[in-house]
Amino acid sequence: MTSYVFGYASLVLEGTGALETLRGHRRVWGVATDNIRSIPGYKMYLHRSDGSRPDVYVAFVDVEPDSADSVRGLVRPVTEEQLEQLDRRERNYDRVDVTDLIEADFGGPVWTYRGSVEGRARLRRGRAEGRAVVSRDYLEKVHAGLRPLGEDEYERFVVATDLPVWDLERVDL
């Protein structure tokens, strides 16, 4: 049986699929990584201007339950191997089954990545300490992913971007 992934931010750019709506959710800045922690096989961020490693929490887009809202995104087929790769890559998220929240029937499970308890706690900590930021490169990738979803979807998210945007370079560990 084929599985599918609902992408709602940067994952929209990674493949082709069908535009769909995830009911009962809204798009937010919901998770973060602690940039001081080095995790082999993951990533860190450096100031592009001087190469220093800032003591910040780098934020990423998430979806959270909201019965009055919905999120447009892209549903695309994935192999079991691709799902495993996404599970490793999306360390700030848990893979959750949203099949019943997507109108179309794809004939297999539809998954999305929703912020983990730990990922969300890191962002709350970063916000409380005034150390939560967004990487400009990531923000541009998210914007590129949202534009094909419609101007309304794009504008709603741009208005919701309430964190400082820093010029950071991603470095894979």
Query: pTM of this prediction?
Result: 0.91
Give the span between the Cα atoms of 83 and 162, in whole angstroms.
Answer: 31
pLDDT at 81: 95
Question: Which residue, 172, 173, 3, is CA-closest to 81?
Answer: 3
Q: What is the pLDDT of residues 120-160, one digit of tens each?
A: 999 999 999 999 999 999 999 888 888 888 888 888 787 67
- Scan for tokens 């914007």, then name that residue: 143
Number of domains in the chain: 1
Cα angle 92, 72, 76; round to 5: 70
Give 4's DSSP letter: E
CATH number at residue 157: 3.10.490.10
> Domain containing 163: what range?
3-172
Q: What is the pLDDT of residues 8-34, one digit of tens each?
A: 988 888 778 999 999 999 999 999 999
Phi, psi of 8 (to 5 degrees): -130, 0
Let me know: does 49 contact 30? Beta carbons within 8 Å.
Answer: no
Q: What is the pLDDT of residues 52-78, one digit of tens each?
A: 999 999 999 999 999 999 999 999 999
